[in-house]
Amino acid sequence: MTETLIQINGVELCVDTLGKPGDPTLLLIGTTILSWPHALAARLADGGRRVVRYDLRDTGRSTTVDPDAPGYTLRDLVADAVGVLDALGSPSAHVAGLGVGGWIAQLLALDHADRVASLVLAGTRPTAPGRADRDLPEHDEAVMRFFMTAPKPDWSDRDSVLDHAVAHARVLAGEGPFDEADVREGAAAILDRAGPHPANARNSLAAMSFAALDCKPRWRKRLPSITAPTLVVHGADDPFFPIGNAEALAREIPGARLHVLPGVGAELPRRAHAEIAEAILSHTAL
């Protein structure tokens, strides 16, 4: 990993790049750099893309003020994504958003269409935090019950934090094999990059503060105006954003294609990296 701290919109964002400078830029937006696992990012770079990842505010090594009370809006995070492209000298890029990053990517394609050569939306939905629209499936009740009742970890105890992260990942995983060792290793890598603020690790691992973001105005009705060629990638077994959310995105964005990952939940497991990379590389070869 080649990490650089860059001043953008009054904050310092940690940005990582992989691949050759002359290759087409692929901006991967998640919560932290490692929301898109390094092994998957490396596959994309080996496929001829200049892969760019970064830590959102209040995560990883980017500026952290108070993750429990974010003093910014979702639109500020969209402006940060534009700032990353500006800082790297990329007039436009292929953009892939995962989870919260999927909201940022949708708004990037809507409000800065000239900056988005193509769009990939992974494990996300067309509405922001809060109750889903009536025509969209909500979070799985059993998953939400687990989140509300599971014992909290001791955030000062590394093993406790990693045990907690693995338990959450298991609940969100699909029917395919669950690689506990790989999940634990990934969570440890995110934890090791977390900043010193007590809530940074919680935010980096679980994106907790982003559920409190000001995300108004709504944008779902604007989806038909997206002009970027769009690929929607979603786990068939995703219990957090069930597959109906992906179907809505693919239906409402003109010309969008839906790629369903069998046996995959709200995750990017190593066993699916080859399939995900192939789908993204094919889509961004436009």
User: Distance (Å, rounded) from C-alpha 155 to C-alpha 201?
Assistant: 8
**Residue-wise burial string across 214-253, b where 16 or more C-beta atoms lie within 10 A, e elsewhere:** ebeeebbebbeebebbbbbbbbbbbbbbbbbbbbbbbeeb
Dist. CA 110–CA 104, nearest whole Å: 10
pLDDT averaged over every residue in the chain: 95
Say if CB 204 and CB 99 are below 8 A apart: no
Q: What percent of the chain has pLDDT over 70?
A: 100
At residue 113, the pLDDT reads 98
Banded pLDDT at 88 (limits 50, 70, 90): very high
Q: The domain 2-283 is classified under which CATH number: 3.40.1010.20, 3.40.50.1820, 3.30.70.20, 3.40.50.720?
A: 3.40.50.1820
Mean pLDDT of 91-105: 97
Torsion of CA 132, 243, 278, 111, to 10 degrees: -20
* Amino acid residing at 115: R
Task: Indicate the length of the chain as a whole number.
Answer: 286
pLDDT tier, 170 (very low <50, low <70, confident <90, very high otherwise): very high
197, 103 contact by CB (below 8 A): no
- When pLDDT is averaged across residues 268-279 and rounded to a whole number, the result is 98
> Could you give the 3-state DSSP secondary structure of residue 101?
helix
- Identify the residue whose tokens are 């007039």: 91
Kindly list the domain boundaries of the chain, sorted by start residue: 2-283
* Whether the predicted pLDDT of 208 surpasses 80: no
Q: Token pair of 252, please?
A: 């409402």
Q: Residue 46: its pLDDT value, please?
A: 98
Which parts of 174-226 fold into alpha helices (H)? 180-193, 200-206
The answer to whether residue 53 scores a pLDDT higher than 80 is: yes
Nearest 10 degrees: Cα torsion 20, 30, 61, 180: -100
> Inter-axis angle of helices 38-46 and 273-283, to 10 degrees?
40
